[in-house]
Each structure stands twice: as C-alpha cells, then as structure tokens.
Amino acid sequence: MASSAAPVRAAAAAAPAVFVLLWASGPLAVQAGLPHTTVPAFLFLRAAGAAALAWGVWALVRDPLPAGARAWLRLGAVALLMQVVYQGFFFLALAAGSPAATVIVVVALQPVLTAAVAAGAAGARGPALWAGLALGVSGAALTAGAGLGELSGGDGGALGVACAFAALLGITAGTLVQGRASGTGLWASLALQSTVSAAVFAAVALAGGRMRFDWEPGLLAGAGWMAAVVSVGATALLYAMVARGEATGVTALFFCVPPVTALLEWAVHGRVPSPVEAAGMVCAAAAIAAVRRGPVGRPARAGRPAADRRADGAAAARRNAHPVRRG
C-alpha cells in the first residue's frame, strides 16, 4: 500500500512546478502563432484543439458529466469566465497596444483578489498571507519590467488596461467557481468548457470576417502548443489542484509565471534577464513560500461520502428500533 501511494504523493508534489512551467510557456507559443492569424481565429484554433483532445481523453476515462441544471449552469459560468473572458480579454489587451508587461502585472494580481474573497469567507491567516501577496505582486512587476506608470495606462491606453483588468476578473472568478464545483469529472468539465469557448470564438471570428489563417509552421506550432500543453495539460493540472487544495495557495502559483517566462525567453531566444528581473524572481519565490504555508481557514475534514454517512445513520436507527438481544 505504501509503495503504491508513493508515486501519487510524488506526482502531487511535482504538480505545482509542472503547472508553472507549462503555463509560463504560453506567451512564447502566442508569439510564434499570432503573427499568422487574427486574435479571435487564434483563440478559436486553441479552443477547438483543446476540445478535441479533452473529448478524446474523456472517451477513455468516462468521468461524470454534469448532473442537474445547477451543475450545467456552474460549468457554463466557468467556461465563460476562464475560457472566454480571461483568454479573450488577455489577447484583446495585447491587441489594443498595451505592453505585455502591463498585462502580466495586472493579471498577477489574481491571488490578491482570491485571498480577499477567501479571507472574507473563512478568516485571514494573518500578516504572512498579505506579506506573501505583496512580495508576489512586487516580483511579478519587477520581472515583467512594469512600473507604476505602465499600470496607469502605458502605451496601450485606457482600453488596454480595462481589458487586462477584465481578464483578471475573469480568471479570478472562474477559479473560485471551479473550486466550488463538485460532481462533474475533470475531463468532462474541460472538454465541455473548451467546446463552449470554441463556439463563442468561432462566432466572433466569423461575424467580424476575421477567420483568416496563414498556414505557416509558426501558426501550427503555436496553436498546437497552446491547445495541447497550456489549454489541456496546464489547465487540467490547475483544476486538479483547485479540487484538492485551497484556492489562495493554488492561485499564488501565478506569481511564478513571469519569472519562469523570462527564463524560457532566455533559453529559447537568448534574452538574458536583467538584474531587476532577477530580483523579481527572488521576490516571487519568497511569495510562494509565504502564501503556500497553509490554508486561509481550516478546511473541512475529509470524510466519507454523504451517501455512506446517511446509510450508516439509517442502519443505526434500525438497530435502535429493534435492539439485538444479547446472550
């Protein structure tokens, strides 16, 4: 039993690092693919590819589909928030001319909002939480090279910053709603959400006459990487960690994305991080150590399913009604 549990524990321990690495690779894939198409068309390719892959996995595992109207509504809300609002407005912020550094820093504020909501619901953890969040925001800002001037608008103007904040709200709300979801399997959820987002982006691209592609290797590599590695691999890891952990600690991992993206740019394009970016990496690492120390509140103790507890209660009631005679 112990030997079989060891690989599971090792995989759970490695999941945060793998998630950050996969998620941080997204900007490089977008840089490769976006010059060969339009924003809604690229988003459609990403979502359609992710849907095809997720449905393929679901056909093998057959995890549960949503049961009941409430589960379907929750799934639709997560799809719109994380797959459409976040992804769409993130790309729109870049298309509006807002610097990538500004968008990254704004979205890096997600754990701050998540912590505020979680603290209001379950009680804050104290100074360590807020110190970690402050370090994370500082690290993301330093690494991205964004100062307060960029956050006030930068070259992208009010529209770009508004889109970045809309993306921030989308991924924060989507993560919180996903964390409360129950009963729907991970792969069923991911497949259905990707299908919804593919339909939305297809309608947007077709309505605007922007479903155009230059079928170059860069587009195929970029869209394929975004679909398989980021939208399926990284997002499945994110959902799995949210399902088994506390939302603030999981979303704090996004603080590591700008530093890791900088390292990937150095590895792929030879761009050496500046001393300021290196300082940001140190801040981000310290933030993760602080924010992931423990849950915001005390999580519910794990137990058996409610159906089992109800069955035990019914059995106890029958025993009380008809006590067994002893000897």
Q: Where are the domains of the chain?
A: 19-299
- Both tokens of 148, joined, read 């307060």
Model confidence pLDDT, tens digit, residues 264-312: 878 887 777 777 777 777 887 777 777 666 444 443 333 344 444 444 4
Nearest to 160 by CA among 102, 214, 93: 93
Q: What percent of the chain has pLDDT over 70?
A: 72
Residue 326: pLDDT above 90? Answer: no
Q: What is the pLDDT of residue 50?
A: 94
Q: CA 237, CA 23: separation in Å to the nearest integer? A: 10
Vertex 248: Cα angle to 302 and 254 (nearest 5)? 130
Q: What is the pLDDT of residue 118?
A: 66
State whether the Cα torsion 93-98-99-102 is positive or negative: negative
- Both tokens of 35, joined, read 């010059």
Residue 325: pLDDT above 70? Answer: no
- Residue pair 46/226 in contact (Cβ under 8 Å)? The answer is yes
Q: What is the pTM of this model?
A: 0.72
Worst-scoring range by mean pLDDT, 98-102, 243-247, 263-267, 313-317? Answer: 313-317
Instruction: Kindly state the DSSP code that residue 226 receives in the 8-state scheme.
Output: I
Model confidence pLDDT, tens digit, residues 180-206: 656 778 899 889 989 999 999 999 999
